[in-house]
Amino acid sequence: MQVAATCPKCGSGSLLEVSSVEQSEYVSCPDCSHRFLREPTGGDAPDGVTGTGSEPYDENELDWGDAGEGDDYVVLYPTTNRPQIAGLMLLLAALLMLTTVVLMNGTLGDAARVEGTTAKANQMMEQTGMQSEEEIDETFVRSVLRAGIIWELFCTVLATAGGVLVLMRQNYTLVLAGCAAAIVGMGTFMLATLFGAIALYLVLQSRPEFGIVEEESW
């Protein structure tokens, strides 16, 4: 169907092919190839030709409507107590791991405890059928205790830093590292792992409070 339209760029009038006279449609001027939006009008035109108005159109811009008719708005994310709980969990995990460090250091400094730990380790290896030709000696037990102390101290520092930062709602990456350290640090009776997992869950739910806003998918 043909309609009469006037190009807003060059001002030339011409007949253009459209799919419907009752709906707005983008058309191209045959003279200057400028694209513009043709809008239907209520007026009648002779010889079956429909009159139409036009609006300028820029291919590099989206039609956001009239800016004067809308109101500016700001999306607000409510503050929750999840970061406080996560921080408490991380600090508790750090305290448990520090307790583990103290216990391991006490065992390392007591020859009787080292001997008892060595005997217990050999007994467990024998019961599980993993006993090798060479028995575990005290030197090996001491090296394991030293490595464990260093590892627990490292995880304690990370968990403490993550607990403080999550309370301040800063440095989301280091907070996640603190949660991971609490989980792998294990601590006394594996409670540090439990507290670290709870803290990680709460931190993941608190991303907007760290200024991390996910874009909506279309």
What tokens appear for 115 in the block? Answer: 């001997």
Whether residue 53 has pLDDT greater than 60: no
Residue type, 160: T
Q: If pLDDT is split at 50, 70 and 90, which confidence band does 77 have? A: low
Q: Is 215 a residue whose pLDDT tops 70?
A: no
Measured CA to CA, the distance from residue 105 to residue 107 in angstroms comes to 5
pLDDT band at 47 (very low <50, low <70, confident <90, very high): very low
**Dihedral sign, CA of 146, 147, 150, 153?**
negative
Please give the Cα distance from 186 to 152 (Å, whole number).
Answer: 8
Report pLDDT digits (tens) over 145-172.
Answer: 999 999 999 999 999 999 999 999 999 9
Per-residue pLDDT at 3: 75
- The tokens describing 5, both together, are 């339209």
Q: Which pLDDT band, with edges at 50, 70 and 90, does 95 fall under?
A: very high
Report helix angle 82-108 to 138-168, nearest 10: 160
Question: What string of H, E and C letters represents the secondary structure of the chain?
Answer: CEEEEECCCCCCEEEEECCCCCCCEEEECCCCCCEEEEEECCCCCHHHCECEEEEECCCCCCCCCCCCCCCCCCCCCCCCCHHHHHHHHHHHHHHHHHHHHHHHHHHHCCHHHHHHHHHHHHHHHHHCCCCCCCCCCHHHHHHHHHHHHHHHHHHHHHHHHHHHHHHHCCCHHHHHHHHHHHHHHCCHHHHHHHHHHHHHHHHHCCHHHHCCCCCCCC
Q: Is the pLDDT of residue 207 over 80?
A: yes
